[in-house]
Amino acid sequence: MSWGILAAAVALTAGLAAPVDALPAPVWMCHPAAAADPCAQGKYPVDGHVVPLTTTDVTGGSAAEPATQPPVDCFYVYPTVDNLPNLAPAPTDEEFAQAIAQIGMLAPHCRLFVPEYRQATLPELALDLILDLPPDYSTGAGDVDRAWQYYWDHDNIDPVTHQRRGVVLFGHSQGASDVATLIQKHFDGHPDVQRRLVSAILPGGHITVPAGKPDGGGTDQLSTFQHVPACRRADQYGCVVAYSSYKPGGQVPGTSAGLVRVNGTGHQVLCVNPAELLAGANGPTPLDTVLYTRTLVEGNALNPYGHINSLGQSLTVPDYPTGFARYRGALTGQCKYATDSAGTVSWLDITGGDQLIGAPQSNFDGLHALDFNLTDGDIGALLTRQTTAWQAGT
């Protein structure tokens, strides 16, 4: 992010309003009961048009067929996309595009619940970066928490079996942080709720664990979770998948890479690569990468990113009539770990795919904007495995 852009962000933030009162009821971007739910119909309405949530398999191969009546739900919180406070929450084109770009491919695996929330905005985050003025995260986190409570009270009971359903928690960036807070409050140390957790998939969320351990064990105050462990097998459920993607070209991400760094040597940022879990082995593993297309985000030759924020991105947005383009094995990923004078570093190391995502670089946030897409196909396959294991275990 350049200083010029940050200065402009400061100007934009000058008139931001103070935190507002709680919403009287959740506002849903996606909900299975909605008459026109863009997350559950295999299509995505954009400005009166319908984009099929289908995929062009650029590298060939066949995709696993998900269940037609998924037995679990997904509760997803989108990342930071807003430039101005959304004082009267209603889905924007930018929020829709970002959400569908990340989880549209996963919609057949589960019923999708996506709440609106009044997040800390991009200009506010820029102010924090420049002037160390932390934004208000509590308003958005409160919206997410109320939406979760509504879902748990009204939607988690299966209408056929009358039993509680399993749930997958998704979040990215600020959304991952809000979901982590939700897990701490409602799941961690609450066995009756935790047994309904199929998986928590939280890329870009700076999930912290003791070095070499899956969770805090109940007494580690610096760990994000005490009793919700990192996933170590593809058929393990009730666990966490988290990582931040960088392509440093054989180097260690620099000291400005706060997403993957922890001061000192006793803790580390969690890195769990879905592809390595599926392979059952550690090491460089081909990724099942699924990228959004210009069609999905209403991009064009002049602005291929459409409604997606292109700041700092080097993605070549595919131009296909389908919503997604799939590249199996075009990139590889491996969780790597290092220590240096600044502390511990743990990141998902990406190699290959220069023509798709750009050459190696050492920027502060790496491939943060593509965290989900780089492993989207792997996440879908992992979700199938975890759902099967959860059903067998409950």
pLDDT digits (tens, 9 = 90+) for 10-34: 222 333 344 456 667 899 999 988 8
Residue 117 near residue 143 (C-beta atoms within 8 A): yes
Q: Give 49's strand partners.
A: 46
381 is written with which tokens? Answer: 């396959």
Q: Which H/E stretch holds residue 12?
A: helix 3-13
Residues whose CB falls within 8 Å of the CB of residue 285, separated by 6 or more in sequence, listed in order: 273, 275, 276, 279, 332, 333, 334
Q: What are phi and psi of 241, to 5 degrees?
A: -110, 125
pLDDT digits (tens, 9 = 90+) for 154-191: 999 998 889 999 999 999 999 999 999 999 999 999 99
What pLDDT score does 140 carry?
A: 87
Distance of CA 71 to the CA centre of its chain: 21
- Provide the pairing of β-strand 324-340 with 343-352: antiparallel
What pLDDT score does 5 carry?
A: 31
**Interatomic CA distance for residues 367 and 130, integer angstroms:** 21
Q: Exposure pattern of 340-362 as b/e (b: 16+ CB <10 Å)?
A: eeebbbbbbbbbbbeebbeeeee
Q: Name the E strands within the chain.
A: 28-30, 43-46, 49-52, 55-57, 72-77, 111-115, 166-171, 197-201, 208-210, 239-241, 245-246, 261-262, 267-269, 285-292, 324-340, 343-352
Candidates 272, 104, 292; CA nearest to 200 is 272
* Distance between start and end Cα atoms, the chain: 47
Interior CA angle at 167 toward 216 and 262, to 5°? Answer: 30
Residue 379 near residue 202 (C-beta atoms within 8 A): no
Q: What are phi and psi of 46, to 5 degrees?
A: -130, 115
90 is written with which tokens? Answer: 């209603």
Q: What are the average pLDDT values for consecutive 10-residue runs of the chain, which has 394 residues? A: 31 38 80 80 55 71 56 94 71 88 87 90 72 78 95 94 96 96 97 98 97 93 97 98 97 94 94 98 96 92 92 88 91 97 96 95 89 96 97 91
pTM: 0.89
Q: How many CB atoms lie within 10 A of CB 236?
A: 19
What pLDDT score does 393 carry?
A: 92
What pLDDT score does 61 carry?
A: 53
What pLDDT score does 8 carry?
A: 28
**Interatomic CA distance for residues 292 and 91, integer angstroms:** 19
Residue 230 near residue 272 (C-beta atoms within 8 A): yes
What pLDDT score does 40 carry?
A: 63
DSSP-derived secondary structure for 341-381: TTEEEEEEEEEE-HHHH-S----TTTTGGGHHHHTHHHHHH
What pLDDT score does 119 carry?
A: 83
